[in-house]
Structures are given as structure tokens and as C-alpha cells.
Amino acid sequence: MDRRRQLRGERGRVLEALPDEGRGRRRPAGGGGRRRRRVLIVNGVSLWREVLTNHINRCSDLKVCGEAMGEQAGFEKVRRLRPHLVLTEILRAHDLGFIRELVQRHPRLRVLVFSFRDEEAYARLALEAGARGYLPKSVHGETLVAGIRKVLKGGVALSPHMAARLLPGSRPQRSG
């Protein structure tokens, strides 16, 4: 059989080895090189999780390390998988508590909200809860990836409209 098998190495990293390679010839999954930043997707809709996973995993510097359908599974996967960033959504005001608790439990964790909820109403609330960005689901995939990268580098990801309204020093919004 020419199937690859996965083995757990140091620190739980997955190692790949071909069955005929023998011992001592393992290499890190993904071909080595620069480490990919781990993203956990917390979203209640399996189709969204699948689409986001496929899009993010095409990036050479990002990797979806797991998916969770809800808050409890999200907490467990953050604890177990130790992602660099959680990509989640806001469906109701209660979801702000999830963000608040995630950031409280894991202060170094970055949270980016990707939601169809009204940006005007929820972006500020998400940032106040501890999220490092809020992007509407109407953005293009490359904009989402750029937002993930920006948050991972310590920035705040918002649409230009919301950045002008919420971030000090941003260009003021034109009136009238």
C-alpha cells in the first residue's frame, strides 16, 4: 500500500511518513518551511465552516486547525488545539459573552468576527467584548484572509466604513 500514515511527534505535531521510508525519515506535515498560523472556526453552519476551511487552507501561511459548531465545543477546541486565532460569528447578543470569555481565558488569543449581523450595531460591541476585528460576510474571500493576517499581526480588521467610525485617527466619514 502506498498510503501515508500520520504519527504524533514532539508537542503533538503531526508527522507524515511513507510506509516504505522506514524509521528516522519522518518529516513535518506540510513539507516544513515557515510555520502556518492556526485558525479555529466556530460557526453553527457546516457549509460555512467547509467553505471557510477550504479557502483558508489554500493560504501558505494559514491553516485551519479545527472547527466547532458552538460555544462549548469552541472552548474545548481552543484549550486542546491552541489556535492563534478564532474566527467566529455573532448571531445574537449572547455570543458577545463567548468572545469575552474566550479572551479572558486565553489573553493571547486573537478573535475575529465574521458575521452577517448589522455591522453598524455589532462591530463596536464585538470590539468591546475583546474581538480584534469585525468583517461582514459580504466581503470577498481575499479581504477575509487579509483581515485574518492583520489581526494575527496585532492590528484591527474592520471594513473601511467601520474603521472610519470606530478607530481613532481614521479618516472621518463624509456627512451628507
Going by pLDDT thresholds of 50, 70 and 90, the confidence category of residue 170 is: low
Give the pLDDT score at 99.
96
The predicted model scores a pTM of 0.75
Residue 102: is it exposed, middle or buried by C-beta count within 10 angstroms (0-12/13-18/19+)?
Answer: buried
Q: Sort residue 56 into left (φ over 0), alpha (ψ -120 to 50) or beta.
A: alpha
pLDDT tens column, 97-142 = 999 999 999 999 999 999 887 777 889 899 999 999 999 888 999 9
Query: Residue 113 and residue 88: Cα distance in Å, rounded?
Result: 5
Give the pLDDT score at 110.
98
Within 10 angstroms of residue 84's Cβ, the number of other Cβ atoms is 19
pLDDT tens column, 67-93 = 999 999 999 999 999 999 999 998 777
| CATH architecture for residues 37-166 | 3-Layer(aba) Sandwich (3.40)
Going by pLDDT thresholds of 50, 70 and 90, the confidence category of residue 9 is: very low
Give the pLDDT score at 171.
52
Domain regions of the chain by residue span: 1-33, 37-166
Is 80 exceeded by the pLDDT of residue 169? Answer: no
For residue 136, the 8-state DSSP code is E
Residue-wise burial string across 41-63, b where 16 or more C-beta atoms lie within 10 A, e elsewhere: bbbeeeebbeebbeebeebeebb
Give the pLDDT score at 137.
87
Query: Residue 92 and residue 115: Cα distance in Å, rounded?
Result: 11
Is 70 exceeded by the pLDDT of residue 28? Answer: no
Query: Residue 151 and residue 39: Cα distance in Å, rounded?
Result: 11
Give the pLDDT score at 20.
32
Contacts for 92 with CB less than 8 Å, ≥ 6 apart? none
